[in-house]
Amino acid sequence: MSQIRKRSLKATSWIYFGFLIGALNTYFLTHKSWFSTDENGLTRAMLEIGLLIYAFSSFGVTAFLHKFFPYYSDNLESKDNDILSVSLLISLIGFVLTISGIFLMEDVIARKFSTNSRLLVEYFYWIIPLGFFILLYSVLESYSYGFQQGVIANLLKETIVRLFTLVIILLKVFDFIGFRTFIILFSFQYALIFFILAILLARKKQLLFSLRISRVTRKFRKKIFTMLALTFVVIVVNVLRQSIDGLVLAAKQNLTKVGIFGLAAYMVSVLQAPFRSMVAITIPLLSRAWKNKDYEEITRIYRRSSINLLSFSLFVFFLVWLNFSQAIEYFGINPVYLEGRWVFFILGIVTIIEMGTGVNGQIIGTSSYWRFELLTSLLLTALIIPLSYYLTVHYGIFGPAFANLISFSVYNSIRYFFLLKKFNMQPFTSKSAEVILISLIAYGIAYWLFRNTSPIWNMIGASATYCSIFIFLLIKRKISPDLNPILENLGKRIGIKLS
């Protein structure tokens, strides 16, 4: 587990550095002086539709790369390894079919969004290059995981993309470019990291291509095509359930509501950073553990991921909740974004539930029961799409948040009981309850002490108090065997004894 801890910490550090840059981007995009609420909402809607283009185009090749990479690398010479060639070919075919479908649906798209989201219709076709390079990067990213390059891939996606976005935002803020040029550059952000990752892999002689069908592909062709067909549906429904909120808000409300929801969702994504890095690192380890039938290792990863992710998500959730309103007031953010405060709260609870159950989806997805992941994903989509539409019509911006809460509670409960029944694996211990109690105590004390102070002193004082109490109790109660060594090490470096 120390291997996962070290690499996960490194990946998470880069991701949080990326979030600092992302916070600057969010500040500029939501500030009342530089971007309108519709313009900010457009950037959110473009990314969500770009992800849908990726989902429909990929035909499930990312899951194929995760599952079959060990079989190709263990049984083929480098010059004969065709896993990347096969993946790219399938994805490019999927992209052509997807874009053809978009052109055929041009009139429908215009009718759905022209009334409430005019900017989205005006700039719609710039989403195509955005979706194309999201697709190419996702394929190369999944491929790089097999070479244990998950940290680099996360650095590029979580940090370099945001740094590029910051640059073009500043060009717009200081009037070097107009909004149209900004959107064009925005649509090519994934092109940058795709070429960087390709060059890095090529330099390490890990960018392997073969124009001949290998014996591994021939041997597993039926299983591969079955997996592609089924996981294609999984990927589509997973991305669709992530994107449905913004799409429904754009169609039934307006881009301003998309922007407000997007701010809340961005703050929630701060909670998810450790999960992203852990997924990148654990997928190849889980794939090999299943291959070797090492159930003890899988259970260990499951439990450690649960307590670590639960601790991170609770810590960040209450820290953001303490400062949400004060930060908007102090930093000159458009007051309209205050409407997203309770959206953040609901989505934050959803994320805590999801992260608290650890990498259960990845455990199922890399096992021989990966078809079950398809069934649960279909169920999630069957719940979230009609719920999101219905609740958005009736409750506006809070509708998608409630839809997520209901759907993900059901979804994670099913996955939890599946692993419990099938493999007698479950992630929770008494420490899970302890860390929840610790977060509530730390929040309650910090809130009560600074509730009547000015915004700036509230942010500084409440945050410092909350962090101190949470970290102190986390260490004293030995909540996590992975977090304690990290925190104690950091304490030593700054001259503080934490144990």
**Contact criterion met (CB below 8 Å) for 477 and 434:** yes
User: From first to last of its 499 residues, what are the pLDDT tens digits of the chain?
Assistant: 455 555 555 555 666 677 788 788 888 888 877 888 888 888 888 888 888 888 888 877 877 777 777 777 777 676 767 778 888 888 889 899 988 888 887 777 666 666 667 788 788 889 899 999 999 998 888 888 777 776 777 788 878 888 999 999 999 988 899 889 999 999 999 999 999 988 988 888 877 777 777 777 777 777 777 777 777 776 776 677 667 777 777 777 777 888 888 888 888 877 777 776 666 677 777 877 887 788 888 888 888 888 888 888 899 899 989 888 888 877 778 888 888 888 899 999 988 988 888 888 788 877 777 778 777 877 877 888 888 888 888 888 888 888 889 988 888 888 889 888 888 888 888 888 999 999 999 999 998 988 877 778 888 888 999 999 998 888 888 877 766 665 555 555 545 555 5
Task: Supply the pLDDT for residue 189.
Answer: 92
| Token duo for residue 46 | 């473009």
The rounded distance, in Å, linking the Cα atoms of 337 and 353 is 25
* Residue 333 backbone phi and psi in degrees, to 5: -70, 145
Task: Supply the pLDDT for residue 441.
Answer: 93
- Residue ranges per structural domain of the chain: 2-428, 429-490
**Closest to 409 (Cα-Cα) out of 344, 354, 356:** 354
Q: For the purposes of burial, counting CB atoms within 10 Å of the CB of 212, is it exposed (0-12), middle (13-18) or buried (19 or more)?
A: exposed
Task: Supply the pLDDT for residue 166.
Answer: 93
Amino acid in position 391: L
The rounded distance, in Å, linking the Cα atoms of 270 and 249 is 22
**Contact criterion met (CB below 8 Å) for 173 and 34:** yes
Q: Which residues pair with 478 in a beta bridge?
A: none
Q: Where are the beta strands (DSSP E) in 31-75?
A: none
Radius of gyration in angstroms for the set of CA atoms belonging to the chain, rounded to a whole number:
23
State the sign of the Cα–Cα–Cα–Cα dihedral 441, 444, 448, 454. positive
Task: Supply the pLDDT for residue 391.
Answer: 87
Task: Supply the pLDDT for residue 1.
Answer: 47
This prediction has a pTM of: 0.68
